Structure 1
Amino acid sequence: MTVSVVWAREAIPSGPSVFLAGPTPRSEAVASWRPQAIAALEAAWTAPRTLHVLVPESPGGLRETEYEDQIEWEWEGLERASAILFWIPRDLRTLPGFTTNVEFGFVARTGKVVLGCPPECPNPERNRYLIRLARRLGVPVTQTLAETVTKAVEIISAIDITP
């Protein structure tokens, strides 16, 4: 019933976790989608153990100067996460998500992925390939952040998360 946010480059604890994969704002003028995802996870998580939400952003929006440290943290987070929640509100001007495409292909076959693609985003046609690949691989595909969070919690709940 407790949710703990683990920011980029912080130590990743053991226990149930979800990695919030998807495009990251590159400008302060663009709001991150991740706070809404965290709030939805806080509302949806009812298990007795703490859920660790792995957020590949820095608190306060500070960017890492050592890009390699960021990459290594993200790779470790993707590998160790109990579930990987992809939310891709594609906007080629502000949230292009090019790295997100690679990350999705990197983890799509793990059995712990859910793909959320809102049809009302500025460039939904740019998500067609990922949606088709997800369906081919049996990855759940959703259209709202709430549905995406629900599927991620279902993936985590299917894993034995007893202490």
Structure 2
Amino acid sequence: MPADATVVRAGEPFPGTWSASLYLCGPTARDPGTPLWRDRAIRRIHELVADRGPEEDGPVVFLPEPEPGRPLSYEEHIAWEEEAMGMSDVILFYVPRALPELPGLVTNVKWGTWYHSGRAVLGSPPEAQRNEYLLHFAREHAVPVLDSLDRAVAESLHRLGTGARRRAGERWVPLHLWHTPEFRRWYGLEAGRGRTLRSAEVLWTRGSPAREWAVRGVWEEPGTTDAAVQTLVVHTGGSEVLGGDGRES
């Protein structure tokens, strides 16, 4: 059986395990007669993933649109989106801005939050309006910029690569940090003590690729519900772990 992507719609629970995750961020047309770019993106993702062969896991794709007929409250929708973006390895921003029917105002806010995260890919077709500000910061932070939806989808999947199997709290550590020697060393040390990563949060990143960053992890002690909270800080002078068992080099 060929590999395939798993689509998770707004409001639906997140899988407990995955190897790669992709969020589709961009404006949603208010006119129900307007073709939805996310539908085209999903079709292209299925095609490209199927071409990889059955030995590779397909990515989880976060689709911030609820199932038709199953509306969410505004607060529920926002909470789901924030959690999904926090657990995404790559965030594909596709911004075919067309005024006034497709302004993408919420997309602007989300871009401002995530463009420097090391996870962003920007799709900006030539006909898009008022994307100059987005393009400026994409250049400043080495965010890949593609001029079509197909190219943006392909680049996003390329950045995911073959992924890395993660579960529970591990899902909160994006691939570009998961694979770093600093994180692997920290993870190996705590796993060697029998601890399990219950949850994690990327506090900040600087540079592209990330040269300085910090991740806070909650490590569950073996055989108990107790946990140690630690923060791994990577900077130009090296790395250090703060909290929990004290400070370690």
Fold shared, TM-score > 0.5 on shorter chain: yes
SS in 1 for 2:85: helix
- 1:104 is aligned to 111
Paired position in structure 2 for 1:145: 149
Q: Which amino acid counterpart does residue 135 of structure 1 have in structure 2?
A: R
Secondary structure, aligned partner of 1:126: coil
- 1:12-58 CA distance string (max 9 Å, x none): 22311110000012231222111100011111222611311110012
Structural RMSD (CA): 1.7
Report whether the alignment pairs 1:44 with 2:52: no
Q: Tell me which residue corresponds to 1:93.
A: 100
Q: Please, which of 8, 11, 27 is the counterpart of residue 10 of structure 2? A: 8
- Give runs of ≥4 in structure 1 deviating > 2 Å: 59-64
- For 2:25 and 2:85, the matched residues in 1 are separated by 8
CA-to-partner distance for each residue in 1:103-160, whole Å, 9 max, x for gaps?
011111111110001112xxx23111101111101100110111101110122117x4
Q: Matched residue of 2:24: which SS?
A: strand
Alignment check: 8 A CA contact 1:28 1:61 kept = no
Counterpart in the other structure of 1:81? 88
Q: Aligned letter for 2:25?
A: A
Supply the distance in 2 between the matched residues of 1:11 and 1:106 (Cα, whole angstroms): 24
Q: With a CA cutoff of 8 Å and minimum separation of 6, indicate the structure with the bigger relative contact order.
A: 1
Partner of 2:32: 28
Show the counterpart of 1:59: 67
- Count residues in correspondence: 158
**Contact in 2 for aligned 1:115/1:140 (Cα 8 Å):** yes
Q: Does 1:113 align with 2:117?
A: no
Unaligned runs of 5+ in 1: none
Is the 2:98–2:129 Cα contact (8 Å) retained in structure 1? no
Distance 2:131 2:70 in 1: 28
Equivalent residue of 1:77, what SS? helix
The unaligned stretches of length 5 or more in structure 2 are 167-249
What corresponds to 1:17 in structure 2? 21
* Structure with the larger helix share: 1
Report the identity percentage.
35
Q: Is 1:155 matched up with 2:159?
A: yes
For 1:44 and 1:112, locate their aligned partners in 2 and report how far apart those are by CA, in whole Å: 20
**Residue type at the aligned position of 1:93:** P
Question: Which of structures 1 and 2 has the bigger CA Rg?
Answer: 2
- 1:126 matched to 2:133? The reply is no
